[in-house]
Structure 1
């Protein structure tokens, strides 16, 4: 029997006591290999949070805005040098109407959907340019993990200002803020400036990619190349709306599922100009509650892409990571051709088990292939960062054993165990 995945027996990054923005949780990292062919460095952006008493309101819990921090590895992910001197990207934390704007990449003054929280980064390239997606909230919550305790304590709205709820409005930002749901925002990433620690110049706000007033929406990123759909080359995006009913096929899926979107312009995704297609919904017991893509697709060649994805059954069974393969089609959205029905990655080690949350969680948010090895970064127990490795060819061969519905279509040449 050949073991497919290798894990460290400890987290590579943990919360830092005394670091105000990262002393509670450090999790859900994005990773990318340095594009310099002479470099073996891996770069990471990780999600972090801690209490922020300087913004505390009387009668409320401390707010817990969410930040991004930077780390790098020179040994294929075994050890990481994390910069806890300051966040790499921080929310603005404005509360008054005139504070809720930001300058976008075109120099325009636009609504700042990343004002309250900047969560769950993913890094990818599109047509040779680096981008970052993050799930953002208009305003920070209090200690949000209390909502999963028994009895639950809801803190999502403690820092939403009262004026947001006044009067009728068609403003999509205000409508989103009334539920304080997540909107996925796109940033242009200057990797050289990030590496140099010039964080203020490393990120440029582009636009929201999802419509918060339609649905809470995260697990969003783009394929690295355009695809011909409806007779013309279009950008193609993966996303996971929490409310699927406004989207095609949602009345059949009924639960959070993996969607595709196509648009002529990246800035059209968060508008009626984008077209949507259901890619995959829950099929197996371990994904009964939801499925979502985990990190940007990896091109396999011949029009095929490996798509890492996660499933959640319930708060006690937790999150499972698996993989599927999609194939491009002539003048249409890509379709699933292979889907593994097995639980391939899930929380097992003691440090991956829940503490503040009741849910076991191993949640991959980044992966790179170096010299035939897939290096994956994941959040564990919603509080720490772990790393895992797999032989890339073996993993792809395993997924190809199954059809689009997870039925076995070929016997393995060699038995693999997780």
Structure 2
């Protein structure tokens, strides 16, 4: 079906010659600068990193974030193709996997090997980015998807102090502060400050972490509210039902509290329609559309043949407890339908939005196509919301 409120799809970046973005570019986050007309973009990229190859191991492919920008509301884009904006350190020594956080403390560096799938957002006037990180880089994972194939041998010994973050190279979601002025000027070393890990590897794979851009009243208290997509939701205390990967919600007083194993988590939404049978997860940070209503872009995966596609739901804040889903579109609103969006290295089709911002009456979305390229599209905000509100959850 052709949805007339979705328009202006276009390719804006494909892999380019380099040692950090020659294989793929994808999953871009975007944010509007509050002090100028610039839209900033951080995108995921990878290429062969021969200088960190260990004897007997495949060539590692660390995941980097590159920088791009638009000064005309997303009509045209420019990119810094000379260097990444932020790079993993790729340390292999057990005692060097550390990083200085925003308090000046040396903490475990969960972003040592991969910094993936950025989501940019403002919270209390500060710009942040959430990233899905791994302690070690993979090899050519589109050929062999083995997360530990480039990891050091000590990960499987009793000397490993990092648990599953090392032994299984499990994804840990990390929050960074972002200085947009430094980013725009190319002063990348000062653009990112490590804040904390938002998830704990002991619960297994967990991705698609999103934070509401303001505190919500939860049982009468102002809280930071986070969405996440654990591969196994029942690994968390309090979620007793065996579920496929689903959207989970939780609240805390400060960012550091989200990785607390004792934090109470609730299931917000589970796979419901055929096209999301395998999993669902949040895609882009929630957009406020009313005094107590939020638009949430989310993705579903049916199987390896249908792949990842995008839709939307509406959440409403409650007088007690967490926000609840009030409306949910049963249809796939964004699918791969352009030649440049079709699978290549990866055989599973994939349209994966990681950025969504308001531009007047329009929404600008940024997305990864086929896990190899970057596109943008526009959505008429009122048209989309009116359509979603046709479908009660």
TM-score norm. by structure 1 comes to 0.91
**Matched residue, 2:133:** 136
User: Where do 1:234-383 residues align within 5 Å?
Assistant: 234-247=223-236, 250-252=239-241, 254-383=243-372
**Matched residue, 2:154:** 163
**Matched residue, 2:100:** 103
Q: Is the 8 Å Cα contact of residues 359 and 381 (structure 1) preserved in structure 2?
A: yes
Cα distance change on mapping 1:168 and 1:384 into 2, 3 Å: same
For residues 347 and 239 of structure 2, the distance between their equivalents in structure 1, rounded to whole angstroms, comes to: 29
Structure 2 segments unaligned to the other structure (5+ residues): none
Q: Is the 8 Å Cα contact of residues 33 and 40 (structure 2) preserved in structure 1?
A: yes
CA displacement 1:197-218 (0-9 Å, x = unmatched): 1110010000100011212111
For residues 311 and 217 of structure 1, the distance between their equivalents in structure 2, rounded to whole angstroms, comes to: 15
User: Which sits farther off after the overlay, 160-169 or 134-143?
Assistant: 160-169
Cα offset, 1:390, TM superposition: 1.0
Q: Does 1:219 align with 2:208?
A: yes
Structure 1 segments unaligned to the other structure (5+ residues): 147-152, 405-418
**Matched residue, 2:75:** 78
Cα offset, 1:228, TM superposition: 2.4
For residues 162 and 7 of structure 1, the distance between their equivalents in structure 2, rounded to whole angstroms, comes to: 49
**Matched residue, 2:25:** 26
**Matched residue, 1:12:** 12
- Within the candidate set 111, 121, 125, 1:114 is matched to 111
For residues 108 and 358 of structure 1, the distance between their equivalents in structure 2, rounded to whole angstroms, comes to: 43
For residues 168 and 200 of structure 2, the distance between their equivalents in structure 1, rounded to whole angstroms, comes to: 12
For residues 79 and 287 of structure 2, the distance between their equivalents in structure 1, rounded to whole angstroms, comes to: 26
Secondary structure of the 2:117 match is: strand
**Matched residue, 1:58:** 55
For residues 156 and 165 of structure 1, the distance between their equivalents in structure 2, rounded to whole angstroms, comes to: 13
**Matched residue, 2:384:** 395
- Aligned Cα root-mean-square deviation (Å): 1.5
Cα distance change on mapping 1:184 and 1:6 into 2, 3 Å: same
For residues 105 and 299 of structure 1, the distance between their equivalents in structure 2, rounded to whole angstroms, comes to: 28
For residues 319 and 255 of structure 2, the distance between their equivalents in structure 1, rounded to whole angstroms, comes to: 21
4+ residue runs over 3 A deviation: 248-253
User: Where do 1:159-238 residues align within 5 Å?
Assistant: 159-167=150-158, 171=161, 173-238=162-227
Cα distance change on mapping 1:346 and 1:248 into 2, 3 Å: farther
Cα offset, 1:68, TM superposition: 0.2
CA displacement 1:367-395 (0-9 Å, x = unmatched): 11111111100000100000111111110
Secondary structure of the 2:364 match is: strand
Cα offset, 1:2, TM superposition: 6.8
Q: Is the 8 Å Cα contact of residues 248 and 278 (structure 1) preserved in structure 2?
A: no
Q: Is the 8 Å Cα contact of residues 204 and 231 (structure 2) preserved in structure 1?
A: yes
